[in-house]
Amino acid sequence: MKQHIILMTASILLGAGSLRGATDQAWLDSYNIVWDSQSADARGSMPIGGGNIGLNVWVEKDELLIYFGSPDSWSYRGKGFNTQMQTKLGRLRLKFTPVAWAKEFRQELDLASNSIVLSGKTTDGQGIKLRVWIDAMQPVVHIEGQSDRPLEAAVAVEYPTGMAMAPHNPCQTYGPLVREGRIDGDAIEWWERSPAIDEGREEYIRRFHVEEIAELLPNPMANRTMGGRLSGAGFVADGTGQGTYDGREFKSLKLKSAKPLKTFDLRASLRIAQDATLEEWQAQVKKLEAAKRATGQADWQASTAWWQGFWDRSRIVINPGKGPDDPAWQTGLNYQLFRALLASNRTGEFPTLFNGGPFTCEPNPDTRNWFDCQFMAQNQRLVYWPMLKSGDYDLLKVGLEYYRRSTDLQTAWAKHFWKIDGLAFNEGMGIYGADWSPNPEGHGGPAHLTYHKVSGMEFAIMMLESGSYGGTDVRPYLPIALGYLKYHDQFYRRETKQLTGKELDDQGRLVFFPGNAIEMYQQTRNDACTISGLMALSKAVLNLPANVLTAEQRAFCESFRKTLPPLPTRERHGHQTLAPAESWKSASTWDNIELPELYPVFPFHVYGVGRPGLQLARDTWEFSYEQPRQKRNFCWYQSLIYTADLGLTEEAREFALGKFLWPYREKGGQFGMRYPAFYDTHGFCQRPDFDHGGCAMVGLQDMLMQIVDGKILLFPAWPKDWDCEFKLHAPSKTTVAGVLKAGKLEKLTVTPAARAKDVTNMLGL
């Protein structure tokens, strides 16, 4: 660890030094982010996370500010069935007198511990250093440090007042903000509590006529209480206040130092729970605070040990030693920075939202684009795909469990609406574990989503692959995988029989009509997304260990695969290419921007490097598109992944640089976002854009390593002039680590060693 960022308190200094010395993670040091000037507002914040807490930390006008965020902080907004919003838990404001950093200022993200160190000097040259960190095991935020001279300190927790505004319509409101607080002795308590009866859930049940299966609909908002308790050694109550920040009114609860202090130890103990009463919530958050008063050193050691293990799992370090003037080096930097953002949700109840995660930082940080879509699966999947190769199975589990918890509900949904023994998740998933706005037949409400159920298939494949990659017990996930196959078998046999009098076509194949090819094509017949998804999912099921499937289940899967139609093709510009579908009745020409014909490349890997038909897939990329904008490179656009998976090295290089350095490389600016991995994508999916970052990670991983039928292909789309130190995960609980220099593989370590025979170096050097 660099000497100039070590925290001053003796206990934490000892813990950091001993833990850091236990492993070789020097490669992280060069990736620390350092700012030597304060920020204009929250859009200039620096993020850290842990457990299920994410913080935005910045210094503005000589005051330290922190937003408390969480993937689980869902606010109740009254009767509307899909108006629940993920909001901030509150904002902390800390100021010193005299000003702590009037003469010098430095803010550094220490990636090794995922903490932020702030240092400065007063006007008379006296120094101060603080460290902000999150207990990785408990939802407790620490602000610790010391100054050369005693300073007066004032700290407040602020929360907004008034009505919650609709992100897309500032004239529409979604119920009152019911945040409250109190001074309790020398501590601040603040909270937001939902009523015992969730009228939004009751409205959902009535509107969509699911009374028969209502008992399976989860009830996550009833009595949901979220907030925390702030206290500090030497701090006393200082009353209440109010004000305006970034155009938004707030109330505040305040503490101040009883006398000037040289040592600072503030902690915010946070709690999100469905406690039966407010008094019970208050008792529990007070208990957490009391339990953590004397455990700072042990908690710091446990947290830094967790981060040490996290960084030891995997990495992609590009052109080590070259530094920030090299775009490829910056690509490696941003890969690490974004992966750290994903680690802010290891213990959450709900997945990390694609549209900002817990790090939104707009003037109203409680707004986000597409908030009413909630867990939009086509976007959410990109947040979770990279976690297989990075070995972050604990993070991945949060996203997978959201779907698994709905297994019984979705099975009952299929019986209720479709009289089918199976299941299929609609595209637009909501907080109640079902489609946030289904049509009367139980399918997706909007025409471009009605039969689009492919993204849930991707999560089902992730579930099965997590078993091979990380040793996860896949048996709890098997009903979802099999349910998907059963749904498509039964639903489309019935639909085809109603239209033609026969369950299958003349070749004995299923006919997938009516369907959708992602959002772009409606009323499709045999779309490429569904067919390739079912090919991949059925193959993943059959690849499970023999003792996982019964003989009957295996026989069904094998029989089902035989009924799948071939992927559709068409001629484009004189070349044979894959097609979005055999046919369709309408297309969203108003937003003709997706490439469903490339789903057989990613995510379903029917075609690609090392697989038959590579030229067909490459010609699809080259010639099949309708509009050039279908190959754009921001937000969820998967151009980087496609070119990587097709082995198009030079194109992949340019897309990787454009994706990871967005918008610096293509647009020449960061649009107000200061942190390099806070991607701003023209308002597509809110900033910071998490599906942009997840998509970028997948693409870079695939440039470096791809898996074909259990075999490991190294450097299938990697530029020879990009030196690299890497460690990634592969199926059969395998890790692959190596060093590439000047196009030559100088070191390779495969664990277990027996898997080395399955590795192919595609650079040949």
Q: What DSSP assignment string belongs to 25-63?
A: -GGGGGG-EEE-S--SSGGG-EEEEETTEEEEEEEETTE
- Confidence band for 670, pLDDT divided at 50, 70 and 90: low
Kindly list the distances between the CA atom of residue 189 and the CA atoms of 119, 254, 288, 289, 339, in Å, as whole numbers in the listed order.
28, 10, 13, 11, 32
Region 95-122: mean pLDDT is 96
Cis ω for the linkage preceding 98 (within 30 of 0):
yes
Q: Which amino acid is at 236?
A: V
Q: Count Cα neighbours of 670 within 13 Å in the Cβ-side half-sphere.
A: 13
| Co-location of 210 and 77 in the same domain | yes
Q: In this structure, what token pair is assigned to residue 574?
A: 């004189």
Q: Are 356 and 67 in contact (CB under 8 A)?
A: no
Write the burial class of residue 612 (CB in 10 Å: 0-12 exposed, 13-18 middle, 19+ buried). Answer: exposed
Say what the pLDDT of residue 170 is. 38
Q: Is residue 574 part of a domain?
A: yes
Q: Which amino acid is at 352?
A: T
How far is it, in rounded angstroms, from Cα 251 to Cα 159? 6
Q: Is residue 723 part of a domain?
A: no
Domain final position from 631, 665, 695: 631
The answer, yes or no, to whether residue 21 has pLDDT greater than 60, is no
Region 646-670: mean pLDDT is 87
Residues 66-101: b if buried by 16+ CB within 10 A, e if exposed: bbbbbbbbbbbbbeebbbbbbbbbbbbbbbbeebbb
| Co-location of 403 and 274 in the same domain | no
Check which CATH number belongs to the domain holding 103 and give it. Answer: 2.70.98.50
- Confidence band for 383, pLDDT divided at 50, 70 and 90: very high
Where are the alpha helices (H) located in 501-594, listed in sequence order? 528-542, 551-562
Q: Is residue 658 part of a domain?
A: no
Q: How many CB atoms lie within 10 A of CB 215?
A: 10
- Confidence band for 25, pLDDT divided at 50, 70 and 90: confident
Say what the pLDDT of residue 2 is. 34
Region 363-379: mean pLDDT is 89
Kindly list the distances between the CA atom of residue 485 and the CA atoms of 478, 479, 553, 580, in Å, as whole numbers in the listed order.
11, 10, 11, 21
| Co-location of 154 and 274 in the same domain | yes
Region 226-231: mean pLDDT is 98
Q: In this structure, what token pair is assigned to residue 401?
A: 């469990």
Q: Is residue 320 part of a domain?
A: no
Domain final position from 574, 604, 631: 631
H or E element that contains 691: helix 690-704
Q: In this structure, what token pair is assigned to residue 61?
A: 């006008």
| Co-location of 279 and 402 in the same domain | no
Q: Which residue carries 């119920």 as its tokens?
A: 175
| Co-location of 398 and 283 in the same domain | no
**pLDDT digit string (tens) for 615-629?**
999 999 999 998 888
Q: What are phi and psi of 273, to 5 degrees?
A: -160, 160
| Co-location of 38 and 171 in the same domain | yes
Q: How many CB atoms lie within 10 A of CB 162?
A: 11
Residue closest to 191 by CA, chosen among 222, 220, 159? 159
Strand, helix or coil for residue 614:
helix
- The end-to-end CA distance of the chain, in Å, is 35
Where are the alpha helices (H) located in 160-250, listed in sequence order? 199-207
Q: What are phi and psi of 632, to 5 degrees?
A: -65, 175
| Co-location of 263 and 399 in the same domain | no
Say what the pLDDT of residue 77 is. 78
The answer, yes or no, to whether residue 580 has pLDDT greater than 80, is yes
Region 138-160: mean pLDDT is 97
| Co-location of 85 and 223 in the same domain | yes
The β-bridge partners of 90 are: 68
Q: Which amino acid is at 405?
A: R
How far is it, in rounded angstroms, from Cα 250 to Cα 240? 11
The answer, yes or no, to whether residue 434 has pLDDT greater than 90, is yes
| Co-location of 405 and 541 in the same domain | yes
Q: What are phi and psi of 307, to 5 degrees?
A: -65, -35
How far is it, in rounded angstroms, from Cα 16 to Cα 1? 8
Q: Is residue 651 part of a domain?
A: no
The answer, yes or no, to whether residue 7 has pLDDT greater than 80, is no
Say what the pLDDT of residue 370 is. 85
DSSP 353: P
Q: Which residue carries 């454009």 as its tokens?
A: 658
The answer, yes or no, to whether residue 17 has pLDDT greater than 50, is no
Q: Are 85 and 131 in contact (CB under 8 A)?
A: no
Q: How many domains does the chain have?
A: 2
The answer, yes or no, to whether residue 5 has pLDDT greater than 50, is no
**pLDDT digit string (tens) for 682-719?**
778 899 999 999 999 999 999 999 999 999 999 999 99
Rg of the chain taking only CA atoms, in angstroms? 26
Q: Which residue carries 């236990």 as its tokens?
A: 22
Q: Are 333 and 50 in contact (CB under 8 A)?
A: no
DSSP 123: T
Region 207-222: mean pLDDT is 97
Share above pLDDT 70 across residues of the chain, in percent, rounded to a whole number: 93
Residues 6+ apart with CB under 8 A from 464: 474, 477, 481, 537, 540, 541, 543, 544
**pLDDT digit string (tens) for 749-759?**
999 999 999 99
How far is it, in rounded angstroms, from Cα 259 to Cα 233? 11
Domain final position from 631, 649, 679: 631
Report pTM: 0.95
Kindly list the distances between the CA atom of residue 103 and the CA atoms of 38, 99, 100, 261, in Å, as whole numbers in the listed order.
12, 9, 8, 20
Region 9-18: mean pLDDT is 37
Task: Tell how strand 711-714 and strand 759-761 pair up.
Answer: parallel
Where are the alpha helices (H) located in 597-689, listed in sequence order? 614-623, 639-645, 649-660, 664-667
The answer, yes or no, to whether residue 662 has pLDDT greater than 70, is yes
How far is it, in rounded angstroms, from Cα 203 to Cα 76? 14
- Confidence band for 665, pLDDT divided at 50, 70 and 90: confident
The answer, yes or no, to whether residue 18 has pLDDT greater than 70, is no
The answer, yes or no, to whether residue 12 has pLDDT greater than 80, is no
Q: Is residue 380 part of a domain?
A: no
Q: Which residue carries 């028969």 as its tokens?
A: 212
| Co-location of 256 and 401 in the same domain | no
Say what the pLDDT of residue 669 is. 60
Structural domain containing residue 446 = 392-409+436-631
> CA torsion angle for 671, 674, 675, 677 (degrees, to 10)?
10
How far is it, in rounded angstroms, from Cα 459 to Cα 665? 32
Q: Are 370 and 355 in contact (CB under 8 A)?
A: yes
Computed over every residue of the chain, the mean pLDDT equals 92
| Co-location of 109 and 242 in the same domain | yes
Q: Is residue 157 part of a domain?
A: yes
| Co-location of 398 and 508 in the same domain | yes
Q: Is residue 363 part of a domain?
A: no
Share above pLDDT 90 across residues of the chain, in percent, rounded to a whole number: 85
Region 473-483: mean pLDDT is 98
How far is it, in rounded angstroms, from Cα 414 to Cα 409? 9
How far is it, in rounded angstroms, from Cα 593 to Cα 613? 25
Q: What are phi and psi of 331, to 5 degrees?
A: -60, -45
